[in-house]
Amino acid sequence: MSDVDTEAEKLTRRVETAWTGRLSRREFVQKAGLAAVGLGAGPYLLAACGGGAPSGGGGGGAKSQLTILQWSHFVPRYDTWFDAYVKQWGEANNVNVKVDHINQADLPARTAAEINAGSGHDLIEWIAPPSALEPSVLDLTDVVQEAEKKYGSQLPVCKSSTYNPTTKKYFGFCHSWSPDPGDYRKSLWTKVGMPNGPLTYDDLLNAGTAIKQQTGVRVGIGMSQEQDSNMAARALLWSYGASVQDANENVVLDSDATREAVNFMVKLFKQSMTNEIFSWTAASNNQGLVAGQLSYILNSISAYRTAQQTRPDIADDIFFRPALQGPTGKGFASEHVILIYLIPKWSKNVDKAKQFLLDLVGHTSDIVYQSELYNFPAFSKTNAQQKLFGSGGWLDKDPFGSHPANKLDLLKNAASWSVNVGYPGPSNAAIGEIFDTFVLPNMMASAARGTKTVDQAVSDAAAQCRQIFAKWRQRKLVGGSS
Amino acid sequence: MSIVERTVGVRRISVRGRLPERPGFLGALMVSPAVLYLLGLVGFPLVLSFVYAFSDVTTGNPNVHLVGLSTFAAAVRDPVFAVALRNSFIFTFFSQALVIVLSTILAFGLSADFPGKWVVRFLILLPWTTPVALGAVAWLWMLDSIFSPFDWVLSAVGLIHHGAHIPFLGQARLAMGSIVVLQAWRMLPLATVILMAGLTSIPQDIQDAAAVDGAGFWGRLIHVTLPLLQPIMLVALLFGIVFTFTDIAVIFVLTGGGPDNSTQVLASWAFYKGINGGNLAQGAATALFMFPVLLGLAVLLLRIASRVEVT
């Protein structure tokens, strides 16, 4: 006997189905399977008939593809400019370019996912040194050398944020960076006899205390698990002659200079701040300054630009100071953000990616202007140097409405007091882990809150740092021996 | 083949020969998407976590080199690990204690009939329908160090000085309390719904019989209702413990683990160490410490639930 249905059986089944609406199991499975295949393959079949890919822009043809992942800039007009620039660049270079903007906090997780998957974007822009990713990204020494030939030497703060002296590789390409000046309220500081703001940390302590006593307005230096607190802790340590590592990547945090710096922070907290600073997010110091509740913060000009939009009266009262000096007579501050592109090893269009980076630096004046002077040039001879730093340039006459117009002119020499997060050594993977697990702000916080003595806070933090350095040394990404 | 079958042209079809006709095939096919989902998105990552925890992988280098137990040792030696482990238990215990008490009260209340009951039910369910990140951000704003509306209200009723700010997230105990309250707020609807289902399943006859025997409200509650509700309560507790012990969203949004890592839990510390810090192996090792705890709890609670005998 054959298993093939007879015509009679087929007819019987069709009649039964039409009459009762019931399907047999076999028919249900067949129809469901066909529907699933149709739904899944339909778009691709239609696209094939239309001659294009089912997703992504433009037609196929001979154009290559380039995909870029980067943060959503604090200044929205920058992203608007960048997307338009990328499109023009793509048309000029016969490349289909696609840009994805995500929240900067999502960059580490997204990049880790792409690395583990072995596929993703051709270019990824970070705003902190991606030193831990070195094994999975290309060495960009050739791009940096080519850029230096065209646009002058790269600034030390940018070089030390992207170069690993242990492996002698550039794991990223820095095209711009942001300084981290002090922002102070002139009217409040004038009341205590310092109209030009603080020059030293002692000025900050004494005058900040007086302002709080007279007006209730606090100093705004965070000690919480967020980026600005990381920057503030480092700036204080450096200005006191302390640091996490020395120039040869040995851990040197456990020092008298560190203890002095932490003692200072405890005093500053007790005299001029409140508990709020232990729970801050990255936006809190901005919000506090714009709300008129803080007399001094350490931040890029983003807080000021926000105030210009929402509280022009406060904005007119905000002025800037360079890195505060410590007992050493020197003052250092970290870069606030450092914009670094990396090219993962899986990138299918490496040549175009490298060309994009070189061409981007050629538009540094646009990068600077469209970021409302948030981004600064990474190279010494770009087309932005004269426009930004020159006499009568943007820092002398802010095109974005500062009162007075030369409010930002002290940023002209920002590169002289700005260093990388691993200063005096490089921004290596161990420094990255210490940064991202907030070891230094927590060291300051535990001493200020009284949960540990200063000695205990410093030695615990140093022990953590040594453990972290040891692990990364085993992976041969960090130098030094202790 | 019989004469009748030959006459009408009926053919015998062997059931075993056609796959769709086999018993159990369709059922397996219908369940397969869920199984594939569990294997792909739960099973595979779990296996991968074990592999990573015994290796030295980083976010930048996913090549696996097995290193034995040294990654676990490094994870345990980290001073924040002990804090995170302790906090995971504190956070879970206090938030679930709050949930069980409040959800029992709410379940009893909502089982009765009163005007506007549907509005109250809707409001109670609302936290569960809100995406956790959205709810946490709303609480973050409400607990802000400068702009908290709670400060304003407390100041208006004279409980704090005008212009004073309570550091809800800036002091360790207040921060942990804030997290516990937020988690309880999130989990309350689920527990309430589960307990309401349990209450409605208790036969009214038993309640009536107890009342006839002279039991008052508290007598019926303690000797009849709560014992019958116990298995359901344990299920609600199990859900709550699993969701809370593994939660990262609330801590990540509200405190970031601060101040000074005092609200760090295993899940959040694993993320900060593994993803942000680049040390993927140590992050995996830290996260895996949740596994035996949850497995043991689940086995214990389900055994208790299955053995409960009401006399």
Question: What is the pLDDT at residue A218?
Answer: 95
Question: What is the pLDDT at residue A316?
Answer: 97
Question: What is the pLDDT at residue A50?
Answer: 45
Question: What is the pLDDT at residue B219?
Answer: 83
A 415-454 residues inside an 8 A Cβ radius of B? 429, 432-433, 436-438, 442, 445-446, 449, 451
Question: What is the pLDDT at residue B176?
Answer: 95
Higher pLDDT, A22 or A431: A431
pLDDT beyond 80 at A58: no
Cross-sheet strand order for the sheet of A218-220: A218-220, A294-298, A182-185, A318-321
* Distant-in-sequence, close-in-space partners of A4: CB < 8 Å, separation ≥ 6: B11
Distances (CA, A) of A310 to A315, B20, B50: 9, 67, 50
Q: Which two tokens stand for residue A12?
A: 């019987």
Angle at B289 between CA B285 and CA B290, to 5 degrees: 125
* Distant-in-sequence, close-in-space partners of B271: CB < 8 Å, separation ≥ 6: B248, B252, B283
pLDDT in tens, B91-118: 999 999 999 999 989 888 888 888 888 8
Contact B250, B215 (CB under 8 A): no
pLDDT in tens, A299-334: 999 999 999 999 999 999 999 999 999 998 999 999
Question: Testing the interface with B: which of A279, A287, A421 to mutate, by most B Cβ within 10 A?
Answer: A279
Higher pLDDT, A52 or B123: B123
SS3 content of chain A, % helix, strand, coil (to 5): 50, 15, 35
Q: What is the pTM of this model?
A: 0.83
Directed axis angle between helix B70-77 and helix B280-288, to 10°? 80
Whether residues B258 and A278 touch (CB distance < 8 A) is answered with yes
pLDDT beyond 50 at A442: yes
pLDDT in tens, A153-205: 999 999 999 999 999 999 999 999 999 999 999 999 999 999 999 999 999 99
Topology (CATH level 3) of domain B76-307 = MetI-like fold (1.10.3720)
Average pLDDT, chain B: 86
Among the partner residues A26, A130, A293, nearest to B18 by beta-carbon distance: A26
Q: In chain A, which residues have their Cβ closer than 8 Å to the Cβ of B11? A: 1-6, 9
A 462-481 residues inside an 8 A Cβ radius of B? 463-464, 467, 471, 474-475
Torsion, Cα of A399, A402, A403, A409 (10° steps) = -90
**What is the SS3 string spanning A141-160?**
HHHHHHHHHHHCCECHHHHC
Question: What is the pLDDT at residue B210?
Answer: 82
Directed axis angle between helix A256-272 and helix A439-449, to 10°? 60
Torsion, Cα of A246, A249, A252, A258 (10° steps) = 60
Contact A346, A139 (CB under 8 A): no
Question: What is the pLDDT at residue A60?
Answer: 47
Contact A199, A193 (CB under 8 A): no
pLDDT beyond 80 at A5: no
Distance from CA of A284 to the nearest CA of B (A): 9
Q: In chain B, which residues have their Cβ closer than 8 Å to the Cβ of A432? A: 277-278
Q: Which helix (H) or strand (E) holds B293?
A: helix B290-307
Average pLDDT, chain A: 90
Q: For residue B272, report the phi and psi dihedrals to the nearest 5 degrees.
A: -65, -40
Mean local confidence (pLDDT), A454-469:
96
Question: What is the pLDDT at residue A9?
Answer: 59
Q: Domain locations in chain A?
A: 64-178+337-389, 182-334+421-474
Dihedral sign, Cα of residue B153, residue B156, residue B159, residue B164: positive
Which homologous superfamily does the CATH classification assign to the domain defined by A182-334+421-474?
Periplasmic binding protein-like II (3.40.190.10)
pLDDT in tens, B267-287: 999 999 999 989 999 999 999
Mean local confidence (pLDDT), A25-40:
68
Contact A327, A228 (CB under 8 A): no
Domains A64-178+337-389 and A182-334+421-474 share a fold: yes
pLDDT beyond 80 at B253: yes
Question: What is the pLDDT at residue A51?
Answer: 44
pLDDT beyond 50 at A55: no
CB pairs A-B closer than 8 Å: 162
Question: What is the pLDDT at residue A6?
Answer: 61
pLDDT beyond 90 at A26: no
Q: Which two tokens stand for residue A175?
A: 């095209």
pLDDT in tens, B13-35: 444 556 666 768 888 888 999 99
Nearest in space to B12 (alpha carbons), one of A2, A16, A7, A12: A2
Whether residues A224 and B275 touch (CB distance < 8 A) is answered with no
Whole-number Å distance between alpha carbons of A98 and A86 = 8
A 347-406 residues inside an 8 A Cβ radius of B? none
pLDDT beyond 60 at B6: no
Question: What is the pLDDT at residue B116?
Answer: 87
Distance from CA of B264 to the nearest CA of A (A): 11
Q: In chain B, which residues have their Cβ closer than 8 Å to the Cβ of A5? A: 11
CA-only gyration radius of chain A, Å: 28
A 293-312 residues inside an 8 A Cβ radius of B? 293
Q: In chain A, which residues have their Cβ closer than 8 Å to the Cβ of B60? A: 115, 130, 132-137, 429
CB neighbour class for B62 (10 Å; exposed up to 12, middle 13-18, buried from 19): middle
Instruction: Spell out the CATH class of A64-178+337-389.
Output: alpha beta
Question: What is the pLDDT at residue A56?
Answer: 42
pLDDT beyond 80 at A216: yes
Percentage of residues in chain B having pLDDT higher than 70:
92
* Distant-in-sequence, close-in-space partners of B158: CB < 8 Å, separation ≥ 6: none
